[in-house]
């Protein structure tokens, strides 16, 4: 199974992943930015980043692993790359959309160490295309802001993840 996370910066993707990745191989585009440029927020090498991510996704799926792509993946065109790789290998894909308002995304972003510029979040928010059944995902999951809040509170209280 290929799991494709989709959501604004600050919507809680990486937070959610820590509790829900299971045994999946995680391909996180910010981690690849860090590896290639030394800066997880650097947007100068996006082509190399996505090419590297694609080959990691393909290789891991070909080895029979479950794979999780942690990136914003906000447009249909962007997600099509992951669906195509899954189709190529005959593996089902599912989307997980983090339905966070732009106001909440800005608020979460303001509180974290690694911040994305607010205008970048506002620009991305205008381009969001919610994953749709016509994109080829076998399953579409929506994670509500309340579910992320509940997880964040459990983690803060030191309780085990579900
Ligand atoms: N209800 C909530 N939903 C999401 N994040 C929350 C919530 N409440 C608090 N937070 C905090 O907001 C931050 C969300 O950041 P996180 O790194 O998970 O976002 P992200 O979607 O991975 O962003 P990016 O695309 O920039 O990697 C975390 O520090 C998290 O603890
Ligand atoms: Mg993240």
Distance CA 69, CA 6 (A): 9
How large is the C-alpha radius of gyration of the chain? 15
Burial of 13: CB neighbours in 10 Å, binned 0-12, 13-18, 19+: buried
**Domain of residue 43, CATH code:** 3.40.50.300
Indicate if ligand 1 lies below 6 Å from the C-beta of 124.
no
Q: Ligand 1, atom 27: nearest CA belongs to which residue?
A: 9
Number of domains in the chain: 1
Indicate if ligand 1 lies below 6 Å from the C-beta of 3.
no
Range of the domain at 105: 2-156
| Per-residue pLDDT reduced to its tens digit, 8-56 | 999 999 999 999 999 999 999 999 999 999 998 888 999 999 999 999 9
Q: Ligand 1, atom 26: nearest CA belongs to which residue?
A: 9
Would 135 be classed as within a structural domain?
yes
pLDDT score, position 162: 64
Phi and psi, residue 144, nearest 5°: -80, 155
Would 161 be classed as within a structural domain?
no
User: Is the pLDDT score of 141 beyond 70?
Assistant: yes
Share of the chain above pLDDT 90, in %: 91
User: Can you give the pTM of this predicted structure?
Assistant: 0.95
Would 28 be classed as within a structural domain?
yes
Positive or negative: CA dihedral 45, 47, 52, 56:
positive
Would 162 be classed as within a structural domain?
no
> Ligand 1 centre and the CA of 12: distance in Å?
3
| Per-residue pLDDT reduced to its tens digit, 59-92 | 999 999 999 999 999 999 999 999 999 999 999 9
Indicate if ligand 1 lies below 6 Å from the C-beta of 7.
yes
């Amino acid at each position: 199974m290929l799991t494709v996370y989709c959501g604004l910066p600050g919507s809680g993707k990486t937070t959610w992943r820590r509790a829900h990745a299971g045994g999946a191989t995680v391909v996180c585009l910010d981690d690849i930015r860090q590896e290639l440029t030394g800066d997880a927020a650097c947007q100068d090498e996006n082509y190399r980043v996505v090419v590297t991510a694609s080959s990691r996704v393909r290789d891991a799926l070909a080895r029979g692993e479950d794979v999780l792509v942690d990136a914003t993946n906000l447009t249909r065109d962007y997600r099509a790359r992951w669906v195509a790789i899954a189709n190529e290998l005959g593996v089902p894909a599912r989307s997980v959309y983090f339905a966070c308002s732009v106001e909440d995304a800005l608020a979460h972003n303001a509180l974290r160490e690694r911040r994305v510029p607010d205008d970048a979040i506002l620009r991305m928010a205008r381009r969001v295309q919610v994953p749709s059944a016509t994109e080829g995902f076998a399953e579409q999951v929506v994670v509500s802001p309340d579910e992320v809040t509940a997880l964040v509170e459990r983690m803060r209280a030191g309780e085990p993840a579900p």
